[in-house]
Amino acid sequence: MSELKKFYNENGYYLPIDVLDNDKINLSANKLQAIYQSPPSNIKHPWNLQAHLLADWIYDLCVSPKLLDAVEEVIGPNILIQSADIFIKPAKGKKHINWHQDANYWGLNPYELVTGWIAITDVNLENGCMSYLPKSHLHQKIEHTETFDKNSDLTRGQEINLKINDKDVVAVTLKKGQASLHHCLLAHGSGPNKTNFPRIGIAVRYLPTYVKQTKGPPISMILARGIDEYKNFKMDEIPTGDFDNKSIAEHDKASSPHAASNYATS
């Protein structure tokens, strides 16, 4: 077993992984900030969720070979992408992300979804990087309370019913172009951005092809690597344009079933 997989199995996360060069990252940072400032008006659902369906350059970030290599060490060679969720925290913003498990969003069997979180800007405690609670993935699914906290970036302000001590947590400090991996049962959250610059990251949700959805409105996938012998999910189309009508229609198709539950599917 690789060192990465051993560490991930024991702790529920791994970091840092060098995945992208500065040119690509800087270009993506500029484009994402422009979209954040004036989102296209013809998108019916939050553009930052399932954003891998909206533009070829966002999809390209999700299939960065070095990131897929790391994901492959954890879940094997046949890799689906369910979503790429973009988290932008503006300068001096109040928004934070409550402690939660991603497994709270999706009914899956087995719970083997792994998130590859790509830093598009440097991230640290000052600008609201994530923190992980190591080994918390060894618990099963834990109840969450929907707080509807206005300063939460989660659609329903979901918060895990688990007491978390600061001394037990790990700050996910990354340089731009690096990524971390976390298990969908790992408790994690992030604080506000106290700096004068935006903090940007993309959370890409990867699953092995053998996983099945057990409840909630149907989620759909793109095959990022390998072969899909199981065909457990409906497939989405890889975008070929940049927020063009075809990509927006595909985003609409994948997002619509989740609108009634505020894009949280459990």
Ligand X SMILES: O=C(O)CCC(=O)C(=O)O
Q: Which residues of this chain interact with ligand X, rule CB under 6 A? A: 87, 97, 102, 115, 117, 130, 188, 190, 201, 203
218 CB burial (10 A radius; 0-12, 13-18, 19+): exposed
Q: Select 36 or 253, whichever has its Cβ closest to ligand X.
A: 36
Phi, psi angle pair for 84, to nearest 5°: -130, 115
Q: State in angstroms the smallest separation of the CB of 54 from ligand X.
A: 18
Q: Select 98 or 213, whichever has its Cβ closest to ligand X.
A: 98
Q: State in angstroms the smallest separation of the CB of 160 from ligand X.
A: 11
Q: State in angstroms the smallest separation of the CB of 86 from ligand X.
A: 9
Q: Select 185 or 248, whichever has its Cβ closest to ligand X.
A: 185
Q: State in angstroms the smallest separation of the CB of 116 from ligand X.
A: 9
Q: Select 87 or 233, whichever has its Cβ closest to ligand X.
A: 87
Distance CA 42, CA 112 (A): 34
